[in-house]
Every structure is written in structure tokens, then in C-alpha cells.
Structure 1
């Protein structure tokens, strides 16, 4: 039972971690090399990796998506999609796809004369599923070794820990005031039932003992 409990808790933790890792903003230091637009099919389960803006949330099976191609400092290629999130999930409220595509186009550079930028995005790059992270913002930086402090994520986890702490305190108080007294009353009632059952058993044994003693008095009497 212990292994099943820890397996279940581990599974829940992995799901929560994956959800947060996909949803929270991340920052890549890259060099933009190209931008383009491509028609994408949305008629299979991989649709979950694409945005669903309010104006495109109908029964569309394909649409044009803008992409930003980049290269990291270690030479690894990276491709971002550039889609509005509008009012849907995740709540980035992104409406400036065209502006961001223009900024990316303006920041293109070559390996001989690199211009490094920080791309804020959410999501994962999964080659086998044709999944691309969604670019949210582009900001020029001084070089490939710049460290971007994820202030939003730090603030988010602080608030999340405070909420968890408050919920735990509320639960402990609720259990102390509402659940523990009920459990104690049930335990006392059960003890009372056990005591009555023991008393009844003692009385039964006493009655049976007196009855057996009475029968014993008849064994020594002469028969007529």
C-alpha cells in the first residue's frame, strides 16, 4: 500500500511539474536567422500544442502560422511559433503577433555579425510531434552569456507556496475543530459499546455459571 501511495503522489507531482514547465515563461538567448509563414494542419491530437485564439477557435482544420527560426550560442537550432493567445489559455493575453514578427525580422543577423536577443516563450520544442514553443516577447541583449532572472516565475512560486501554506493551515484548523472531535466522539461511543458488550458477556457468563451450578446440585440427589 505504501508503494501505491508514493507512486500516486509521484505521478501527481510529475503532472503538476510538467504543467508548470509548459505554461510558465522561459527565456532563451538566441540569434534570429529567419522568419516565415507556413500552413499547418490542426486535425489530429497534436492540436493541443497550438494556440486557440478566439477568432480561430471554430472548426478550422488548418491555418497559417508564423515562425521564427533562431540559433543558440552552442549552435543548436531553435524554432518558435508566433501565435496570439488572446483570452484563452495560457493567460498571456498576446494580441501582437504581427508586431512581434516584425521585431524578429528586424533582429535577424548572421554568424559573422551576430545580434543576440532574449526570446520569452512558453511551451516545448518536440521535433517528433512538430510542437513549437510560442514566442511572447523579444528583447535585444548584450551577448550570449547574459543571464535573465525569471522574476515572474520567482514571484509565482512564492505566491504558490504562500497559498499552499494557508490552505494547509486552514485544513489543520478545520480538522482540529470539526473532524477530530467527531472522531473522538465515535471512538468514545465505540468504547462504550465495547464496554456494554463486555458487561453483557460477563452477565451471560455469570448466569450460565449459576445455571451450571444449579444443574450440579441435581447430580448428587437420589432418584425415586
Structure 2
């Protein structure tokens, strides 16, 4: 039972971690090398990794998606999709896809004359599933060693930690005031029942003992 409990808790923790890792904004320091547009098929389960903006019907089986290609300081390639999120989840309320694509186009550079930028995005790059993180914003930085403090993540995670702490305190108080007294009453009732059962058993043993002793008194009497 203990292993089942820890297995469930581990799976729950991984699910929560994966949810926040996918949803919360991340930052990459890269240089943009290309922008392009490509038609993508949306007719399988991987559709969940693509945005569903309000101005596009969910029944579409394919649509044109804009992409931003970039390379980081170590030469690792990064490919971002550039889609509006609209009013859907996650709540980035992004409506400026065209403006962001224009900005990214203007910030393209070469290895000889790099322009380093910070790309804010959410989502995962999974090569085998052809999924791409969605770029939210692009802004120039001084160099590949620029430090980006994730203030949004800090605020959100701190707020959630406070909420969880308060919920835990409320649960402990509820358990102390409501559940623990009920458990104690149940234990006392059970102990009382157990004590009465012991008394009844002892009384029964006493009666049986007296009955056997009475029978033994007849064993030694001569028959007439």
C-alpha cells in the first residue's frame, strides 16, 4: 500500500511539473537566422500542441503557420512557431503574430555580425512529434550571456506556494477541530465495546467455571 501511495504521489508531482513547465514562459538567448511560413496538418492528436485562437475554426484540418528559426551561442538550433493564442489557454492573450514576425524578420543576423535576442516562449520542442514552442515576444539583448530574470514565473509560483500553504493550514485546522475528535470518539466507543466484550467473556468464563465445578461435585458421589 505504501508503494502505491508513493507511486500515485510521484505521478501527480510529475503531472503538475509538466503542466507548469509547458505553460509558464521560458527565455532563450539566440540569434534569429530565418523566418518562414508553412502549412501544417492538424488532423491528429498532436493538435493539442498547436494554438486554437478564437478567430480560427477548430474544425480546420490544416492551416498556415509562421515560424522563427534561431541558433544559440553553442550552435544549437531553435525553431519556434508564431501563433496567436487569443483568449484561449494558456492565457498569454497574444494577438500580434504579424507584428512579431515582422520584428523577428528585422532582427535576423549572421554568425559574423550576430544580433542577440531574448525569445520568450512557452511549450516544448519535440522533434519526433513535430511540436514547437510558441514565441510570445522577441527583444534585443546585449549578448549571449545576458541574464533574464523570470519575474512572471517567480510571482506565479510564489503565489501558488502561498495558496498551498494556506490550504494546508486550513486542512490541518479542519482535521484538528472536526476529524480528530470524531476519530477519538470512535476509538473511545470501540474501546468501550471491547471492554464490555472482555467483561462479558470473563463473566461467561466465570459461569462456565462454576458450572463445571458443580458438575465435578457429582462425580464423587456414590450411586444409589
Query: The TM-score by the shorter chain falls in which range?
Result: over 0.9
Give CA deviations for 1:110-138 in whole Å, capped at 9, x if unaligned: 22211111100001111111110000011
> Which deviates further from its counterpart, 80-89 or 53-62?
53-62
**1:205 maps to what in 2?**
205
Instruction: Give the secondary-structure state (helix, strand or coil) at the position aligned to 1:154.
Output: helix
Equivalent in the alignment of 1:10: 10
Report the secondary structure of 2:40's partner residue: strand
The answer to whether residue 54 in structure 2 is matched with residue 54 in structure 1 is yes
Q: What is the CA deviation profile of residues 157-184 of structure 1, one whole-angstrom value per residue up to 9, with x for unaligned ones?
A: 1111111111110010000001000000
2:133 corresponds to 1:133: yes
**Partner residue of 1:100?**
100
**CA offset at residue 221 of structure 1?**
2.0
Task: Tell me by how many angstroms 1:75 deviates.
Answer: 1.2
Q: Are 1:214 and 2:214 matched, yes or no? A: yes
How far apart are the structure 2 equivalents of 1:83 and 1:195? 72
Displacement of 1:29 in angstroms is 0.8
Aligned equivalent of 2:160: 160
Give the distance between the partners of 1:133 and 1:87, measured in 2 at CA. Answer: 18
How many residues align? The count is 224
Aligned equivalents of 1:186, 1:109: Cα separation in 2: 74
State the TM-score, normalizing by the size of structure 1. Answer: 0.96
Matched, 1:82 2:78: no
> What's the RMSD between the two structures over aligned residues?
1.1
Consecutive aligned runs of 4 or more in structure 1 exceeding 3 Å deviation: none
Separation of aligned partners in 1, 2:185 and 2:21: 46
Give me the TM-score of the superposition, normalised by structure 2. Answer: 0.96
Identify unmatched segments of 5+ residues in structure 2. none
Tell me the residue number matched to 2:190.
Answer: 190
Deviation at 1:7, TM superposition (A): 2.4
- What secondary structure, in the 3-state scheme, does the structure 2 residue paired with 1:149 have? coil
2:43 maps to 1:36: no
Question: 2:26 corresponds to which residue?
Answer: 26
- Give ranges in structure 1 of 5+ residues lacking alignment: none
Following superposition, the deviation at residue 213 of structure 1 comes to 1.4
- Quote the offset at 1:57 in angstroms: 4.1
Report the secondary structure of 1:65's partner residue.
strand
Q: 1:39-84 deviations in whole A, cap 9, x for unaligned?
A: 0000111111101112224211111101111111111111100001
Deviation at 1:13, TM superposition (A): 1.4
Shift of 1:88: 0.9
Partner Cα distance (1:137, 1:221) in 2: 110
